[in-house]
């Protein structure tokens, strides 16, 4: 059986208490506003935990005063700018 580990994240912290898994968003300085990195880590956790037979419940919480305030627009805007640049580059080649 696969060994499931959840300790390789920066922006989320996973704590296991028996069959209860607690996922804490860990970017309190930004009120846990969802950055691309945090979303990617959360997605990776969800993919792994689906296959984990020990997990029965997932509790979502956040470090600091907020579970998740919003989307971190500055970080998403930077990602969109890179994505748009790549699309323009690809179109130019055609």
Helix 36-50 vs helix 73-93: crossing angle, to nearest 10: 90
Is the distance from CB of 69 to CB of 32 less than 8 angstroms? Answer: yes
Mean pLDDT of 66-93: 53
Instruction: Give the model's pLDDT for residue 44.
Output: 95
Instruction: Give the model's pLDDT for residue 88.
Output: 43
For the whole model, what pTM was predicted? 0.71
- 17-57: pLDDT as tens digits: 999 999 999 988 887 788 889 989 999 999 999 999 999 99
Instruction: Tell me the pLDDT of the chain averaged across its residues.
Output: 79
To 10 degrees, the CA torsion angle through 62, 77, 46, 31?
A: 0
Instruction: Give the model's pLDDT for residue 90.
Output: 42
């Amino acid at each position: 059986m696969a060994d499931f580990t959840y300790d390789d994240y920066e922006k989320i912290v996973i704590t296991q208490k028996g069959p209860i898994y607690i996922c804490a968003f860990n970017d309190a300085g930004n009120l846990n506003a969802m950055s691309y990195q945090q979303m990617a880590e959360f997605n990776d956790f969800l993919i792994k935990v689906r296959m984990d037979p020990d997990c029965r419940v997932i509790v979502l919480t956040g470090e600091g005063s907020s579970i998740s305030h919003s989307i971190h627009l500055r970080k998403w805007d930077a990602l969109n700018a890179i994505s748009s640049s790549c699309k323009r580059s690809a179109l130019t080649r055609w």
